[in-house]
Amino acid sequence: MELMEGLLTRRSVRKFEDKPVPKEILEQLVKAGEYAPSAHNTRPWEFLVLQNKDILKHFRVVQRSALFAENAAAVILVCGREDLSFSREKEGWSYIDIDCAAATENVILAAHALGLGACWCGAAPMSGPIAALKEYFKLPENVRPFSIVVLGYPAETPKQPERFDASRIHWEKW
């Protein structure tokens, strides 16, 4: 699939066929995530790949809007590494979530390109899901769960509405 076509046809998919996704394909998705841009090229991410049905069922407990993970083939939990991210503790900022968002989008677009469907479900910045995911997966102290990418072979093809809004472009001045 050509990149621009992929960008313009991607939709969130929440219904999946009962069919596993091969490990090599899941690896390709993570590879796409690792090619995302990041502040100062710190690449502060880790990917927890989950296919176990009992674990997928647990997502309804940690993030209610991700409950459809129970019928998915896999979840990729995109996590940030607080020790690697470009940040200034004294000034109270970090690029960790922004970098993980770029990686998440790459994973989702790669899924679409490879004939899968995916939905980005939020974890960060919500304190509840962050704490629940950290505890359930026994994540190390320096690891911050960022997004729950739910995926599988699509059992629905949502139509793409027109999204281009030329009035949002400000040429040369606002």
Q: Which of residues 3-32 bind ligand FMN (CB under 6 A)?
A: 11-12, 14
Q: Which of residues 90-129 bind ligand FMN (CB under 6 A)?
A: 119-122
Q: Beta strand 87-88 with 143-152: parallel, antiparallel or unpaired?
A: unpaired
CA torsion 163-168-169-174 (nearest 10°) is 180
Minimum distance of ligand FMN from residue 102's CB (angstroms): 12
As beta bridge partners, residue 50 has: 75
CA–CA gap between residue 45 and residue 62 (Å, rounded): 21
Tell me how many residues contact ligand FMN (CB under 6 A): 11
Which residue lies nearer to ligand FMN by CB, 66 or 143?
66
User: Which of 65, 128, 131, 156 is the binder for ligand FMN (CB under 6 A)?
Assistant: 65
Residues 128-167 vs ligand FMN: string with x where CB under 6 A? ------------------------------x---------
Minimum distance of ligand FMN from residue 20's CB (angstroms): 22
Longest dimension (CA), the chain: 54
Q: How far is CA 52 from the centre of its chain?
A: 18
CA–CA gap between residue 146 and residue 101 (Å, rounded): 8
Minimum distance of ligand FMN from residue 2's CB (angstroms): 19
